[in-house]
Amino acid sequence: MADQKTSKKKSKRRSITEANVHIHASYNNTIVTVTEKNGDVVAQASAGSSGFKGARKATPYAAQIAAENAIQKAKTFGLERVNVYIKGVGAGREQSMRGISANQIEILSISDFTSVPHNGCRRKKTRRI
């Protein structure tokens, strides 16, 4: 059995011109994921993975840098046009959009999927500092 060659599966070079960008903007962090049309993840970046720690992760500037990093990773596959899906109420919502358009990527559509309660569960009590 030692003379048998092990055949590796060759990874084909993906060429993606149109993709989806999912932005999850929470109060503490912003996560940007670039996916193909079928949902396969191409690239992802977050404010934490971009070098921001602690309270600086929640800033709009950190969200912009995270979006730029995710788009730069996806541009190696030939990305040109994106559909943007935003979820969450964090500070990085609009600024991450600017980070995408700063990399000469055409934005085809913007959709907001922020979940809104229809008076289901009782809210948490407000913090008193």
Report pLDDT for 117: 82
pLDDT tens-digit readout, 18-45 = 999 999 999 999 999 999 999 999 999 9
- Contact criterion met (CB below 8 Å) for 94 and 65: no
- Contact criterion met (CB below 8 Å) for 88 and 67: no
Report pLDDT for 4: 59
- Residue 10: inside a domain, yes or no? no
Which residue range(s) make up the domain with 93? 18-112
Rounded to whole angstroms, the Cα distance separating 68 from 91 reads 16
pLDDT at 91 over 80: yes
- Residue 6: inside a domain, yes or no? no
Amino acid at 79: L
- Residue 104: inside a domain, yes or no? yes
How confident is the model over 70-94, as a mean pLDDT?
A: 93
Least confident of 49-58, 65-74, 102-111, 114-123: 114-123
Pairing assessment for the beta strands 18-25 and 30-35 based on DSSP bridges: antiparallel
Structure tokens, 116: 């809104």
Amino acid at 39: G
Look over the chain and give the mean of its residue pLDDT values, rounded to a whole number. 89
| Structural domains counted in the chain | 1
pLDDT at 11 over 60: no
Higher pLDDT, 94 or 6: 94
Report pLDDT for 12: 64
Burial of residue 66, with CB atoms counted within 10 A of its CB: 0-12 exposed, 13-18 middle, 19 or more buried: buried
Rounded to whole angstroms, the Cα distance separating 126 from 112 reads 26
Residue 129 — pLDDT band, cuts 50, 70, 90? confident
- Residue 97: inside a domain, yes or no? yes
What is the CATH classification number for the domain harbouring 57?
3.30.420.80
Q: Which residue has the tokens 């993709």?
A: 19
Alpha helices in the chain (DSSP H): 60-75, 93-101
- Residue 25: inside a domain, yes or no? yes
- Residue 118: inside a domain, yes or no? no
- Residue 33: inside a domain, yes or no? yes
Helix%, strand%, coil% for the chain, nearest 5: 25, 25, 50
pLDDT at 10 over 90: no
